[in-house]
Amino acid sequence: MVFLLCILWAGTVEYGRWLIAKEQAQTAVDAASLAAATSGVQRWVRIDIVTDRGEEEFCSMDACWCEDCGTVRMNVVGNERELIDEGGWRA
């Protein structure tokens, strides 16, 4: 009976070590993929903007407004991180 308990205990310990190694390997893979995704690779994108803001825009120090409002179409080309993630397409 003692021999059987020792084998079960050793199997449990080895299974726990395997789970820890598996978790550490997954953490390393996740960290590597995040590092690769943000490694300075710049993707350029083109955003087609359709807005009904207006054709002629007037700006003061406080606000902007339009006259003769209609549909305006614009194409914005730039760095994906600046345009999409940081909201640069609004400018």
User: Which tokens belong to 48?
Assistant: 């087609």
**What's the full length of the chain, in residues?**
91
- Per-residue model confidence (pLDDT) at position 37: 74
Average pLDDT over residues 5-12: 94
- Per-residue model confidence (pLDDT) at position 69: 63
Domain boundaries along the sequence of the chain: 1-41, 44-90
Residue pair 72/53 in contact by the 8 Å Cβ criterion? yes
> Which residue bears the tokens 């083109």?
46
Average pLDDT over residues 3-7: 92
* pLDDT surpasses 60 at 31: yes
Residue pair 54/69 in contact by the 8 Å Cβ criterion? yes
Environment class of 53 (CB within 10 Å of its CB; exposed 0-12, middle 13-18, buried 19+): middle
* pLDDT surpasses 60 at 11: yes
Express each pLDDT in 45-87 by its tens digit.
787 877 776 556 667 777 776 666 667 677 778 777 777 766 6
